[in-house]
Structure formats: C-alpha cells, structure tokens
Amino acid sequence: MRDYEFYYTKDGSIGLYSYADNDVYHSKFGAVTEAWEKFVLPSNISKLINVKENIKVLDVCYGIGYNTKTLMSYVINKNKKNLIHENFLKKILKKFFKKNKKNILQDHNNDSMDTNKLILKNEILSEPIESSNKEIVSTFDIDCLEINTELVKLSPLLKTVITPQEIFTRIIPRFFDCFDSYWKIRKYLVKIGFMFMPKNRKAISELLDLKFNNDYDELENEYRIHEFVNYIIINSLIEKYKGNYLDNNIKKLLKKRNFKRFYARSLIKYAKFKQDFRYKLISWLDLSGNLHNIYYDHLSNRYKRAKFKTAEKLFKLSFYVDDARKSILALEKQYDLIFLDAFTFSKAPELWSVEFIAELYRRLSPQGVLMTYSNSALVRNTLLENNFYVGKIQDKKTGKFIGTIATKEKNLIEHPLSNYEVGLCGTRAGIPYHDPTLSADKYYILKRREQEFKNSDLLTSSQYMRQRSAKKEDDDE
C-alpha cells in the first residue's frame, strides 16, 4: 500500500514524503543536487574509474534511485569517447586480421616476397588488432537495497527534472509583477483548502514550506541525469521481474491523475514495449506502433542506439527488495563504494545500529569509502565504534560540511573530525543504537537507547559545549 507522496524539490527533481514518518526523504533544496554533492562527488570515484577494472557499489536504501542514477551519469559522461559501437563489417574484419596475423608475419619474413605484396601486408598489419597498452574501461556492479517494491519499480519512470513547461509557469512571476496577485489569490485558496484536506496532506505542505511562487532554481548542467540511465534501469528491472515488472498495481499508480505529472511518458512507453515484446504475445500492428513510438521517438538514430548498448554494458544492476538487514547478510562482496542513505536515524534506527554498521564495515574493501548525509554525533560515534576512520564531506562550492565519510584507511580522509566533534561523539548524544540479532522492532531499538541515555553518566551535548566554552575562556585569561 502506498504510504508516500511525490513533490518537486527546488532543483526541479522529485522528492518523497513519508506519511508513516511524517518526514521527507529528500532535501527540499534539490534531490538530485544532494545525491551529487553528498555521495557521488566525495566518493573518490574520479580516482577509481578507468583505473580499476570492476568497481562494486552498495546503495543502501535505494528509494527512487538518485544516488545510483547520478553515479551512472558520472560514469557515462566520463566514458563518452569509449562509447563506440563497432559495425558488423568491422567486427568481421577484426576477427579475420586476428586469425591470419601469424600467417601474415611468416609471409612478411619470406625473402622471395615481391614489393607490391609487401606493401599490401604492411597495410594489413597496420590495423589496430590489439593494443598492448589498452585503456581500462571500468565496469560497475551496483547492488541496491530497498524495502519498498513500488518505489523500486517506479524509480526509472519518474521525470528526472521538472519539465520546461512547468519551469515556465514558475519563471513568469520573476518578470511580470502583474502575476503577483494571481499567486497571492492561489495561495489564499490553498489555505482554505487545507481546512478540508487530510492532515497528512497539510503536513507535507507545511513541512516543506512549499509556496506557490517563483521558488525554482535551475539544475546545473553538470548535475543532470544522463538520458540513458533510466532506460538501463528499466532493462535491469525487467530482467528481475520478467513479465511482472509493470504489474496491475503499478499500472494503476501510473494512471492516477494526481501523479501523472511526475511520470515521463516516454519511459513508460519504453517499459511497456520491452515487457510486452519479451514476455507477451502482441500483434504485428501493435508491435510496429510501439517500435515507432519507442525507437524513433526516444532512441531515434543508429548512433544513439549504438552508444546506449555500449553504455549499458558498463553496468550490472541488482535489486534486493527486502529488509536491508536481511539483504546485507546475503551479500558477500567487498564494495569499493557504499552509499548509506537510510531514512533519518530517529525514524529508521535499525539501519543505523552498531551491528548493521558492522556488517557494512565487513563488506567495505580496504580502500573503499562509505558516505552518508548525516552529521550527527550518534552516527559518527557508531562508525567510530566499528573502527572506521571518520571525516567530513565538504561542499566544494560553499565550503560547508554537508555529510560524513568513513574508510578503513586514514589517508583517504581529506577532512578529519575536529577534536570538538570527536568529543561530542563521546557525549550522551553519541550513544548508539543496538540491534544484536539484526531483527529487532524499531520501537524496541529506540526504547533501549532511551533507557541507556537516561542511565548514562556521560555529559549531555549541552553540558559538553558549556564545558568547552568555559575552557576557552580560561585559556584566554
């Protein structure tokens, strides 16, 4: 049963609001921007890509997939020059040259060879059959953990950013003051509407502080999701769910009037075509119509289709749709990158416990990096208790620290925690959650920590801050 709501964030990307937790999954300032700045850019991916042959990634709490999508976009953009699809004739010639290379070399050493023949064979030998210094093109194994099946299935069908038409309606008030009255009247009508709306609908509007005015910030080009990404994810989901990817439940959600503005019609058409073509018998008339809609409208020319096929080979996506605590125990890989994007620890403590983080530590490679958006003392102390080296993620543009990074190697931390921040982890604020069996109810986990907090002899965070400020005053004297 759906327990979430879609909304547009300020960079035009779609965010999620949870009814059950009365909270948002994504920052109202930009869901896509947040994924780039808190996960992909600080992940040291630039030092790994096309250096290591296979890079393994774990996306904990996939949601609607922004962390995975932005990573895939980064990889595709970095490999533009390598997205070359050889035509059939070139493949045949390459195989022929490879097969006959030894014979050509033997003939080349024959003294009785005439001049014309020598020239011909030298031309053949000049073909780039194999390169001893072949450039590495990294492939990516991405394992995605998520408990909500609906979100996983819908994730590639959502618009990447707000449409140009919708942007236009938001930009107009910036230039024409005469539209101010329109927005004021609309806002007033919305307030009246709150009186008759369900409480959760009112909560999302108040929580996000969404206004019906010009609050749109255009997404920067470097942060855009590549056009191939959602198609690749659709193909992976069809591989997983077969003919049940777009099941009746998903089709009903796609038809709901309130949510149509969040879905991309081209992606829905593509998903329907792929599923019907592979798993259902359809008439040739329907097939030709779908081919026209999909391949001509959305993957329209040979060059683009060839590049798409090559880009798709760079990724192996696997989806584990279950409680992440169960899924993690079934995985035995060593990951180079771990995106820990679980819901806030006060709402999902089971994914921030010492025991769950210990499982992540065991699955992080020696040179691997774990990233999370949280700056809390609780989360950082949980990482420290699991022997991680912990540092801060810095936004290069603003200089602000916007997340936490953890590794097994100290030299991978660019911005380590300050003495003050380490000390804060040792206060009651840093008391971690415990879930020894990795199966406890979240309310039990919360209650257990609450008891530990009450019975603790540690300083509270406020006491610690006062003590620190007093010491500074003494030092000044």
Start-to-end C-alpha separation, the chain? 63
Q: Which residues lie across from 372 on neighbouring strands?
A: 340, 404
Confidence (pLDDT) at 112: 47
List alpha helices for 331-371, DSSP H.
354-363
pLDDT tens digits, one per residue of 112-141: 445 444 333 444 333 443 433 467 899 999
Q: What percent of the chain has pLDDT over 70?
A: 69
Residue 104 has pLDDT above 80, yes or no: no
To 10 degrees, what angle do helices 229-241 and 66-78 make?
Answer: 120
Tell me the C-alpha distance between 374 and 349, whole Å: 13
- Alpha-carbon distance of 364 to 155, in angstroms, equals 26
Lookup: tokens for 173: 């008030």
Rounded to whole angstroms, the Cα distance separating 395 from 57 reads 22
Residue 196, pLDDT > 90, answer no
Residues 52, 336: contact at Cβ < 8 Å? Answer: yes
Mean pLDDT calculated for residue range 12-16: 85
Residue linked to tokens 């850019």: 41
Summarize the confidence of residues 401-419 as an average pLDDT.
96
Which DSSP category does 296 fall into? I
pLDDT in tens, 355-401: 999 999 999 999 999 999 999 999 999 999 999 999 999 988 889 99
- Mean pLDDT, range 453-466, rounded to an integer: 94
**Among residues 15, 6, 58, 62, which one has the least CA distance to residue 34?**
15
For residue 162, what pLDDT is reported? Answer: 57
For the whole model, what pTM was predicted? 0.78
CB 259 within 8 A of CB 287: no
pLDDT (0 to 100) of residue 309: 86
For residue 143, give Cα distances in angstroms to 35, 64, 257, 373: 17, 14, 33, 19
Contact 386, 408 (CB under 8 A): no
